[in-house]
Structures are given as structure tokens and as C-alpha cells.
């Protein structure tokens, strides 16, 4: 069976393309999701994507991922730096989780240097723009092959 990968995009990522393009790039979220679907199809992964501006909705989506999801890729956006609730939800999962950021959060303001998820995920990708999502999908494919 083809592994099912859930990709969660956090707040303001629905504005990709329009939002600070010098930091986050010019691709829209739709284009990022299409790239994920295409790369998934090429590499034998089914990709489901979800975006929300609401912390509770993201928590609920992660809880639902306990059933039938083989790995999670998440860009929690601003919640990276604040959300104990998202961290706790990730701890409910038994499947690999990859954290991804478009920008290099460590080159930016001090408050972005701390991720509340970093020590509960398999690994983190940051600073490679939208290509980071493709890297995350390859990372997941590799983790699932072991
Ligand atoms: C982000 C980095 C966060 O600090 C920021 O709040 C975002 C996007 C990134 O992808 O680079 O919204 O997660």
C-alpha cells in the first residue's frame, strides 16, 4: 500500500506568494501543494495537505493523523515558537514527523530561534524555501524505508 503523508501548513501560509516574498518566496501555497502531490506520485507516496490559521484545528488534525497516516510533515509557522498544544499533539503520534520552515529561522529574530517542536520531531529542515517541502518528503520516504 502507498504510504499516506499528511502535510500541515500553519497560520499565514495561505498567503504564500503575497506574504514577504523576499523571506518566503514567490510560490503560492497551491503551487507548493501541487509540487508535493507531483513529487509524492513520482516517489510512491500519497500526500494530503491541510492549512489552518487556528491552533485548535491544527491540534485536531494531528490527533486525527493517529489513524491511517504514515508520517507527518509540518510547518507550524508562528506556532513553532509558542504552541505547547501542537507539541503535545505531536507526542501523541507514533509515526515520523518532519518539521519544515521556508526561511532559516536561526538567521532571523531571536524569538524565532526557539522551536517547541525541535526535540520531539525526527528532524528539521529550514532555509531552503519551498524546495524544503520536497526535501521533507524525501526524508520521510527514507525514514519509512527502514
Ligand atoms: C516559518 C517561520 C516562522 O517563524 C514564521 O512565523 C512563519 C513561517 C517559515 O516557514 O519560515 O510563519 O515557519
Q: Per-residue pLDDT tens for 65-109? A: 999 899 999 999 999 999 999 999 999 999 999 999 999 999 999
pTM of the model: 0.97
For a pocket test of ligand 1, which of 19, 51, 77 has the largest count of ligand atoms closer than 8 A to its C-beta? 77
- For residue 11, give the ligand 1 atom closest to its CA: 12
C-alpha pair distances (Å), 74 with each of 1, 36, 52, 115, 119: 23, 13, 12, 12, 14
**Number of C-beta neighbours around residue 68 at 10 A:** 9
- For residue 79, give the ligand 1 atom closest to its CA: 6
The C-alpha angle with vertex 52 and arms to 75 and 101, in degrees rounded to 5, equals: 15
Count of residues for the chain?
A: 146
The single residue of 24, 39, 79, 133 carrying the catalytic annotation is: 24
Span from the CA of 87 to the centroid of ligand 1 (angstroms): 16
- The reply to whether 133 belongs to the active site is no
- The reply to whether 101 belongs to the active site is yes
Judged by phi (left if over 0) then psi (alpha if -120 to 50, else beta), residue 134 lies in: alpha
Domains of the chain and CATH, by start: 4-144 (3.40.50.9100)
User: Where are any strands of DSSP class E within the chain?
Assistant: 4-9, 46-51, 71-75, 97-101, 123-126
Q: Per-residue pLDDT tens for 98-134? A: 999 999 999 999 999 999 999 999 999 999 999 999 9
Amino acid at each position: 500500500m502507498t504510504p499516506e503523508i499528511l502535510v500541515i501548513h500553519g497560520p499565514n501560509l495561505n498567503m504564500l506568494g503575497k506574504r514577504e516574498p523576499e523571506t518566503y518566496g514567490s510560490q503560492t501555497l497551491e503551487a507548493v501543494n501541487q509540487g508535493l502531490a507531483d513529487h509524492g506520485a513520482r516517489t510512491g507516496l500519497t500526500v494530503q495537505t491541510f492549512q489552518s490559521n487556528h491552533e485548535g484545528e491544527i491540534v485536531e488534525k494531528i490527533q486525527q493523523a493517529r489513524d491511517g497516516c504514515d508520517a507527518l510533515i509540518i510547518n507550524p509557522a508562528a506556532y513553532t515558537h509558542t504552541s505547547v498544544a501542537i507539541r503535545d499533539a505531536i507526542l501523541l503520534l507514533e509515526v515520523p514527523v518532519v518539521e519544515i520552515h521556508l526561511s532559516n529561522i536561526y538567521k532571523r529574530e531571536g524569538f524565532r530561534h526557539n522551536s517547541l517542536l525541535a526535540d520531539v520531531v525526527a528532524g528539521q529542515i529550514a532555509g531552503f524555501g519551498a524546495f524544503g517541502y520536497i526535501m521533507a518528503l524525501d526524508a520521510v520516504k527514507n525514514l519509512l524505508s527502514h
